[in-house]
Amino acid sequence: MTVGSDKIDYVFKVVLIGDSAVGKSQILARFARNEFSLDSKATIGVEFQTRTLVIQHKSVKAQIWDTAGQERYRAVTSAYYRGAVGALMVYDITRRQSFDHISRWLEELRNHADRNIVIMLVGNKTDLEDQRAVTTEDAREFAQKENLFFLETSALEATNVENAFQTVLTEIFNIVN
Ligand code: GDP
Ligand code: MG
């Protein structure tokens, strides 16, 4: 199976949301380029990166959008959400507040995005286990109640990042097929 050659069967727009500094840009860097940086600059300008992968013998181009440092409440514009079929809603497991804000982000999504959007709740920075401030159980319970997928990741150690995107993209694929 050749990827990156000719035919793209699907393009799926996926948005990253969540508080500033939870690791959205590094999750994207890990997924799109297999890179990580400990001193990443705040993202400037709305940006997306793409990666093409194969799902059930079809080539799927994932177009992943990253916020432009507009993570303040209600600063992300509706254009950002437009056409999105998937979302990774990210918090930092070492920062309780970033988890407490997830309900706001979910409300934003439900107000602006397509109602069938596939949503994954992502607890990032599991490499900092000794600083953990949000239990896996609390997050899993929230995800179940709100009907979201849920995974904990480390962009630094490359744990579950691939899995998070694969799960969302495969679910989207199954919905459109
Ligand atoms: P964003 O504002 O949500 O895009 O967050 P960034 O991706 O810019 O990351 C904010 C800070 O957290 C940076 O210093 C990153 O290097 C760091 N960071 C991101 N992901 C991880 C991770 O999985 N583990 C650790 N230890 N640090 C991370
Ligand atoms: Mg960023």
How is 100-143 classified by DSSP, letter by letter?
A: HTHHHHHHHHHHHS-TT-EEEEEEE-GGGGGG--S-HHHHHHHH
Q: What is the pTM of this model?
A: 0.94
pLDDT beneath 50, residues of the chain: none
Confidence (pLDDT) at 163: 98
What is the whole-number distance in angstroms between the Cα of residue 15 and the centre of ligand 1?
A: 17
Give the position, in ligand 1's atom list, of the atom nearest the Cα of 67. 4
Residue 164 burial (CB count, 10 A): 23
Any atom of ligand 1 within 6 Å of the Cβ of 128: yes
Confidence (pLDDT) at 158: 98
Confidence (pLDDT) at 134: 98
Could you report the per-residue pLDDT of 111-138, keeping only the tens digit for each?
A: 999 999 999 999 999 999 999 999 999 9
Environment class of residue 17 by beta-carbon count within 10 Å: exposed (0-12), middle (13-18) or buried (19+)? buried
Any atom of ligand 1 within 6 Å of the Cβ of 44: no
Cβ-contact 148, 120 below 8 angstroms: yes
Confidence (pLDDT) at 5: 59
Confidence (pLDDT) at 76: 79
Confidence (pLDDT) at 70: 74
